[in-house]
Amino acid sequence: MMNMIIQAVLILIYATFMGFIFMGIERKTMARIQRRIGPPLYQPLLDTLKLLGKRESITHGFIYDFGPIFALGASILALMFLPLTQNFQLFSSSGDLIVVAYLLEVPMLGIMLGAMSSGNPYSGVGVQRGLLTMVAMQLPYGLALIALVEHYGTFSLQEIVKAQQIAGWSILVPALLLAMIVFDIVFQALLGLEPFDITTAPAEISMGPMVEYGGKQAALLFTQHAVQLFAETAFFVILFLGGANNLLELLIKQIAVLFIAIFIASIYPRFTIDQAAKFLWKWPTIMGIIAALLAVL
């Protein structure tokens, strides 16, 4: 029991730190693509420390404070269910694919809860758009996961990793290659990057749901974003790129996934919300259906 608590705390510290470094890599890469020198890699840590050091504190009630805590809790719990290396998984059950896939969606609901109780109309618009993005994204997301489950025949993440160690990475199978492309498109929406950036559209609706958050609650939101980034890239690596034998290999694969996401994000402008919904229900859905049918056959 004591062992488990120490391991959980160590994973959490490692994931938060690496999540901040990933956010720093994102800003630095975007700056280098635009031919500038960006901020140093540890910049999001300084941002969070500065936000924690604000002297004044504004609150709009209990739900406003509770929203970021709810979101952070869901991200941490999703992290605990992932098999980070081949033999190591903190909590495990036989259906943990579904548990992790849907625990990675809950933080958005938590932020929406907090943002709606602040009374700012920009938050309201941002929340509407965020919920519609979530609804639009579920269909291709579910189809990609169905293709994966049909191929491996199990819902347990540990067995998926073991099967990939024997038979090679998932993407060598054609059905799962299509599923990976669909999942990569949905991945941009999960991370909040362009072209599905419409929830937090800076300079259009002033940061969307986060417009009334300042100081210590904003520091909590940043930490939640860091943990979520780590958990989502690790999820992608586990499902499609074969898991990892040790933490270094996991890190290299995560950074590769992150670079693909950043390169797509730096070229494309933003979809509006109706264009995003129409796009996500047309081509990714068709490719997902083909992938699921191919996996069954």
CB of 44 vs other proteins, minimal distance in Å = 9
Residues 6+ apart with CB under 8 A from 66: 113, 114
Instruction: Indicate the residue among 168 and 202 with the shorter CB distance to other proteins.
Output: 202
Q: Using the rule CB under 8 A, is 54 a contact of other proteins?
A: yes
Alpha helices (H) in the chain, listed in sequence order: 2-33, 43-52, 62-80, 96-103, 106-116, 121-152, 157-167, 174-191, 216-240, 247-267, 273-280, 283-296
For other proteins, the binding residue among 8, 12, 52, 63 (CB under 8 A) is 52
Q: Using the rule CB under 8 A, is 269 a contact of other proteins?
A: no
Q: Using the rule CB under 8 A, is 35 a contact of other proteins?
A: yes
Count residues binding other proteins (CB under 8 A).
37
Q: Using the rule CB under 8 A, is 178 a contact of other proteins?
A: no
CB of 38 vs other proteins, minimal distance in Å = 6
Residues in 98-127 at the binding interface with other proteins, rule: CB under 8 A: 118-121
170 in Cβ contact with 239 (< 8 Å): yes
Q: Using the rule CB under 8 A, is 31 a contact of other proteins?
A: yes
Instruction: Indicate the residue among 55 and 269 with the shorter CB distance to other proteins.
Output: 55
Q: Using the rule CB under 8 A, is 57 a contact of other proteins?
A: yes
Instruction: Indicate the residue among 29 and 285 with the shorter CB distance to other proteins.
Output: 29
Q: Using the rule CB under 8 A, is 34 a contact of other proteins?
A: yes
> Coil, strand or helix: which one is 85?
strand
Bond from prior residue into 269 cis (ω within 30 degrees of 0): no
Region of residue 54 (phi > 0: left; psi between -120 and 50: alpha; otherwise: beta): beta
Q: How far apart (Å, rounded) are the C-alpha atoms in residues 23 and 74?
A: 19
Instruction: Indicate the residue among 37 and 267 with the shorter CB distance to other proteins.
Output: 37
Six token digits for residue 80: 């605990």
Instruction: Indicate the residue among 123 and 170 with the shorter CB distance to other proteins.
Output: 123
Q: Using the rule CB under 8 A, is 43 a contact of other proteins?
A: yes
Crossing angle of helices 2-33/216-240, nearest 10°?
A: 90
225 in Cβ contact with 234 (< 8 Å): no
CB of 115 vs other proteins, minimal distance in Å = 12
Span of 47-55, 135-143, 226-234, 254-262 interacting with other proteins by CB under 8 A: 47-55
Span of 48-56, 161-169, 223-231, 284-292 interacting with other proteins by CB under 8 A: 48-56
Span of 54-62, 74-82, 88-96, 129-137 interacting with other proteins by CB under 8 A: 54-62
Cβ atoms < 10 Å from Cβ of 83: 23
Q: How far apart (Å, rounded) are the C-alpha atoms in residues 15 and 11?
A: 6
Q: Which residues are registered as beta bridge partners of 88?
A: 85
CB of 226 vs other proteins, minimal distance in Å = 15
Q: Using the rule CB under 8 A, is 39 a contact of other proteins?
A: yes
Q: Using the rule CB under 8 A, is 206 a contact of other proteins?
A: yes
Q: Residue 106: exposed, middle, or buried by beta-carbon count in 10 A (0-12, 13-18, 19+)?
A: middle
Q: Which residues bind other proteins (CB under 8 A)?
A: 27, 31, 34-40, 43, 46-47, 49-58, 118-121, 202-203, 206-207, 210-215, 218
